[in-house]
Amino acid sequence: MRKVYLSIFMILTLSFLFGCSKDNESNIVKKLSKNLDDIKSYYLDADLVIQNNDDEYSYKVDVYYKEGDYYRVNLLNKENDHEQIILKDGQNVYVVTPSLKKSFKFQSSWPNDSSQIYLIASLYQDILNSKDRVFEKKDDGYRFDVPANYPNNSNLVKQSIFFDKDLNLKSADVYNDSNTLQMSIKFNSIEIGKDIDDDIFNLDSIISKFDNDENNNSSSEEKENNSEGEEEDGTSSEAASIDDIIYPLYIPSGTVLTDEEKVAKTDGERVILTFDGEKPFILVEETVNANKEFSIVPAYGDPYLLPNTIATISDKSINWISDGVEYYLVSDVMSQIELVEIANSVTKIIENK
């Protein structure tokens, strides 16, 4: 009988010790929650890769965060050096495109209410709020598998988030419903508590910096040549043309192209493609020129990261700019995920041209 009691005692003791282990899920989650509460500011740099079927798009990412809902995300496309900035100054959200001297202003809840693979708080919250998380202790740290929350793209359903043994965030992967990798990010460095100047989140300061950089990089001869081609409205007067009309690779079943119209503009061209059938939609493509001075354009919807650029997405439309052409895709009947699928098929053609 003593042996039976001894065995029960040993089992209970081992269970207690295991339950109190600093590496169990409960303790790790508590530490993550405390770490998140302690974050008042940070800077990070990372490498982001987006998969679009067989194509891969790589970004250098720099993120600044400061308590009070201040965010700045610099996204540099490594293939073409195209840079865009997502900025939240405590209230408004902007997407700044320096090459066009244009900033889109959103009334948006970004980055709340959806997963953001490049933001620390978003990844932490996805772990802390998940009732279906899967925890795994690894030789070099910890892994959490949790549901992803991308309302604009319900194909993105799962994410794996990795920490080292000291609970430093190392990387994250996002998968679709076929368990195929769609996005991955590697955090090269994270500076928690970094002293960040308020100008980092000031739109005017960002615009001024890019203007100064451009002026410093431009020779007086280039300035003279550029001035000959500028109109009083601040845009280039050089008429651009759409040499190749881009047709989407993906078209919903039962839908066909029924009309194609090219219209001349004072500063370029516009093409209107009409698709009719079970899932009708319109795709507009038009040339866009860089402004002489930075302008702020109201945008309706939310910023959305396509494989090769930041788009604006709403319930019925998605529009984006790539390689000097602005694309506007609209449908009264298609879901956002179908709009994204068509947009992704267009961006794939652009990158492969």
Q: What is the CATH number of the domain that holds 45?
A: 2.50.20.10
Contacts of 316 (CB under 8 A, 6+ apart): 330, 331, 332, 334, 339
289's tokens: 């020129």
Domain housing 266 = 255-289+314-352
Q: pLDDT band at 280, cuts 50/70/90?
A: very high
Q: pLDDT band at 161, cuts 50/70/90?
A: very high
Q: Parallel, antiparallel, or unpaired: how do β-strands 302-305 and 317-322 relate?
A: unpaired
For residues 175 and 279, membership in a common domain is answered with no
Residue at a domain's end among 165, 192, 219: 192
Say yes or no to pLDDT of 18 above 70. Answer: no
Q: pLDDT band at 242, cuts 50/70/90?
A: confident
For residues 42 and 177, membership in a common domain is answered with yes
Question: 168 in a domain, yes or no?
Answer: yes
Question: 211 in a domain, yes or no?
Answer: no
CA–CA dist 99, 217 (Å, integer) = 13
Where is average pLDDT lowest: 119-123, 130-134, 205-209, 303-307? 205-209
Number of domains in the chain: 2
Phi, psi angle pair for 100, to nearest 5°: -105, -5
Residue at a domain's end among 142, 163, 192: 192
CA–CA dist 274, 38 (Å, integer) = 52
For residues 36 and 134, membership in a common domain is answered with yes
Whole-angstrom CA distances from 243 to 222, 246, 270, 272, 344 are 26, 10, 11, 14, 21
